[in-house]
Structure 1
């Protein structure tokens, strides 16, 4: 968007005096965010010593202590009864014994099928494997699924609603095809095999008897003695034409408690100190693979973590010099993002400061690299901005104003849509704040070949560009922390129930 087209919006926000004139105080403290300091911290956070910072691991705890020592040195306070840790328990759930036999064929886990869902069975269940195909009312009227293992053909469909429908109809379990082709399934099975040494982390809850086995289209055809084309056709309206098979299966579940912590550092404001601006990243990554390779997570999300640290230092330095923010600022490095946004969910549901007093969340998740879209571009000074007008009409304009005033990055909004097939708005920690009606901005550099790979290492970080991105976030945060009125919740999408 051209600068001139933005001015009307800025005037509406009360930015009438010397629009685009830099605040020398902001410039002074924003410039304390340097490529050298970002690299220094990231070299520690994403080092082999941290062992990939898997949630609850010793490596993650080492990273937490490094951050706490840093925040203490800045003179920030620990808001959790004097502590910088918001500690809570998760449960590691593993299914060490999972067996599935159809007819005389004993299927091999993470080769012929992968296990999903939940179950804990004292003994093996003998039943029939019946073919339902699509989970339509018409098909359910033709096939008796009660107490049966049900073959479900869900290629190209969103599976959660289909699974719920079949389980609600009384099925004992499901064998599901979600993608066609053996090669696609083999990639999925390989990923499950690599993660087989670690349990699924989550909040403790009662076991649901919902055994779900995912297999390939080729294997489904083999189980029913039919070719894939026949199954695809029968799935639509004639599932009863596919002969049922005898089946036996069992799932045994094991649970272990895992302690982990969000790291919180607090800077109290002045006349509006009851209102809190939250600046967040996640500091966990995916740990060590079954082959011993360390997933350092330099970009994901070491880059966001050290950006939060440097932004905190800029605000803390300004405060020591007599320039405290009007609103309080909570710097939070959350745990468990890679396991399902667990740390941010825990904070949002157990806030240290009243959630209604949280004015905004600025979330930083992967800001150190250049993605596929920009790798060949002449101007690579960009950042993706997501969610800035979902809940507030003003937040996007405030960010744009600070960008054209201080950093002049390309603000790319291509992923800033409800119908974005990547669903990035729903996939990082800001979403747990948005669900409570808190206006959010998510800063992101996009996906690259090293995403969730052992090759996501410090040497590949674009530190000068990362510095500009962190400085933009600082300037926007400074504005939000010091403006007269908090941003209203009046945006283009005030629904938060997705």
Structure 2
């Protein structure tokens, strides 16, 4: 067991003095490293088979989490168990695919990864025109429409990854290097669908995507889960969607008499669409299977305002098993996200212990281990659309995803820093550890839109995704971090994301303390944090304070596009 640094600094002591006298001092709380490790190790074990939704691995995970919450004495929101059913459909495209773009015969996985989110036995597209639509964005607030004056019915959109701000950060459009939601792959497929396109193919490029082709191959092949959609939504969806490599796209454009590099520069400068004067022929078998997956939801009731909830989220799912691979076939997902799930368990245990000793918070705490995050934030999207507790009574969301395995740091990362007043609770808590809050190092990766907090943010609930940092606390930690980074290189969404006994989890435990302290303060006061003016979500729940003196986030008013 490792004791965390004292949690109640002067700012918290002041807040504590305003609380009922039966609230214990959070500096008494310690986090159990051995228990935290064991949770990660168990959830990421081969026995759990990569925790893919609707598999044996899911059932083992549901049982494990339910047993843990039962031992803590947390309430079952539906009265009988901790499970919220999430209706899902799994689409599996055959590994045997015939894909021709222009004169190029492409190899599945090596050159292209395609699938269909339709309940059809076979995809059979014959000579559909290919149209380059730049970044595939329709954003009136930026006076930008890559689909201007073009009818996409019966055509396949070819789309650049990320958004124009990445290539032209000083243009004044979008948000510079920091990706907007318009740069996310799910937005691009959804917008192509709204435009009536037959299909949509994104050109993968490692730097603006922030991940290599192997992540696309591993994440987009095999069964692809989605929420069950209404008939109109399903009918609107493009028939085929996926990715091609940059090298293949370069050759495709060459055969159209175009330079991909040159046309990409044009696409970053202004909205663009143009026919490639080539067609696509695509054929593969397709299968759809329907089954419920489950969010795990557990509540620790508040003492005086139990109808007001602070949420902790972490996704329990990962990619599962790929039987087509040689050697190791299990995507254990230890860092992503057994570590985050273990984190909310450990935080829940500490608050439960305090409540069992007669010191509950005034507000309720609800812990949600979500399903289907890896397939597009499915579990959190479903909860946000079908909340067990009303969203207007949900005070805030703290999201844990891939906790710190690289040792203690002097800084602390808040992804998308500058969006809401909720961040102030983390910033204040950091003073107890002499750490400073910073924005993520690579905002161009679009981290704010890539984890479960976003599902709540777009509904107006203040949500933060935070933890870790980039500055090691000392030279020994820096050397350890460099060595561990080498060991973990290429393990994101790969089979080598496995639990390691030599992980230094001291930094992760300090981060748990920050979340604990922030929730402690917010759980006992009457504040309702909001989003700052100039952010995407201000109109949904406005901040009461002015934004701190830092660069404002460019606004994106088209919430209907989310």
TM-score bracket for the superposition, by shorter chain length: 0.7 to 0.9
**C-alpha distance 355-265 of structure 1, shift in aligned 2 (>3 A):** same
| 1:25 and 2:5 aligned | no
Structure 1 residue 201, shift from structure 2 partner: 0.7
Structure 1 residue 411, shift from structure 2 partner: 3.5
Please, which of 63, 66, 70 is the counterpart of residue 64 of structure 2?
66
**C-alpha distance 412-57 of structure 1, shift in aligned 2 (>3 A):** farther
1:182-213 Cα shifts (integer Å, max 9, x gaps): xx9x963x555545762111112325344356
| 1:330 and 2:366 aligned | yes
* Distance across 1 between alignment mates of 2:294 and 2:146: 49
1:59-118 Cα shifts (integer Å, max 9, x gaps): 232122112112111211111233111122211012226433467764432334332565
What residue in structure 2 maps to residue 403 of structure 1?
430
The aligned runs of 1:207-246 (5 Å cut-off) are: 207=235, 208-212=237-241, 214-216=243-245, 219=248, 226=255, 244=277
* Distance across 2 between alignment mates of 1:412 and 1:307: 20
**C-alpha distance 15-137 of structure 1, shift in aligned 2 (>3 A):** closer
What residue in structure 2 maps to residue 283 of structure 1?
316
* Distance across 1 between alignment mates of 2:69 and 2:50: 22
Moved more, 345-354 or 395-404: 395-404
**C-alpha distance 241-180 of structure 1, shift in aligned 2 (>3 A):** farther
**C-alpha distance 25-102 of structure 1, shift in aligned 2 (>3 A):** closer
What residue in structure 2 maps to residue 3 of structure 1?
none
On the 8 A contact 1:391/1:492 being kept in 2, the answer is no
* Distance across 1 between alignment mates of 2:447 and 2:101: 39
**1:413 match: secondary structure:** strand
| 1:495 and 2:536 aligned | yes
**C-alpha distance 72-250 of structure 1, shift in aligned 2 (>3 A):** same
Matched residue pairs, number? 464
**C-alpha distance 251-346 of structure 1, shift in aligned 2 (>3 A):** same
On the 8 A contact 2:320/2:330 being kept in 1, the answer is yes
| 1:308 and 2:344 aligned | yes
* Distance across 1 between alignment mates of 2:295 and 2:260: 48
**C-alpha distance 209-34 of structure 1, shift in aligned 2 (>3 A):** closer
What residue in structure 2 maps to residue 44 of structure 1?
42
Please, which of 454, 462, 467 is the counterpart of residue 439 of structure 1?
462
What residue in structure 2 maps to residue 468 of structure 1?
510
* Distance across 2 between alignment mates of 1:26 and 1:105: 63
**C-alpha distance 358-254 of structure 1, shift in aligned 2 (>3 A):** same
Please, which of 416, 419, 438 is the counterpart of residue 390 of structure 1?
419
Moved more, 125-134 or 304-313: 125-134
**C-alpha distance 16-279 of structure 1, shift in aligned 2 (>3 A):** closer
What residue in structure 1 maps to residue 393 of structure 2?
357
Calculate the TM-score normalised by the size of structure 2: 0.70
1:314-356 Cα shifts (integer Å, max 9, x gaps): 1111112111111111112111111111111111111111111
Calculate the TM-score normalised by the size of structure 1: 0.78
**1:437 match: secondary structure:** coil
Moved more, 348-357 or 127-136: 127-136
**C-alpha distance 228-340 of structure 1, shift in aligned 2 (>3 A):** same
* Distance across 1 between alignment mates of 2:145 and 2:62: 51
The aligned runs of 1:28-427 (5 Å cut-off) are: 28=28, 30-31=29-30, 33-96=31-94, 98-101=97-100, 106-115=105-114, 118=117, 120=120, 124-127=124-127, 129=129, 147=154, 172-173=198-199, 177-179=203-205, 188=213, 190-191=214-215, 193-194=217-218, 198-205=222-229, 206-207=234-235, 208-212=237-241, 214-216=243-245, 219=248, 226=255, 244=277, 248-289=281-322, 290-291=324-325, 292-370=328-406, 380-386=409-415, 389-392=418-421, 395-405=422-432, 408=433, 410-415=435-440, 420-427=443-450
**2:331 match: secondary structure:** coil
| 1:454 and 2:479 aligned | no
**C-alpha distance 229-72 of structure 1, shift in aligned 2 (>3 A):** same
**C-alpha distance 111-410 of structure 1, shift in aligned 2 (>3 A):** same
Aligned-residue RMSD, C-alpha: 4.2
- In the alignment, structure 1 segments of 5+ residues that lack a partner are 1-5
Structure 1 residue 399, shift from structure 2 partner: 2.4
On the 8 A contact 1:295/1:453 being kept in 2, the answer is yes
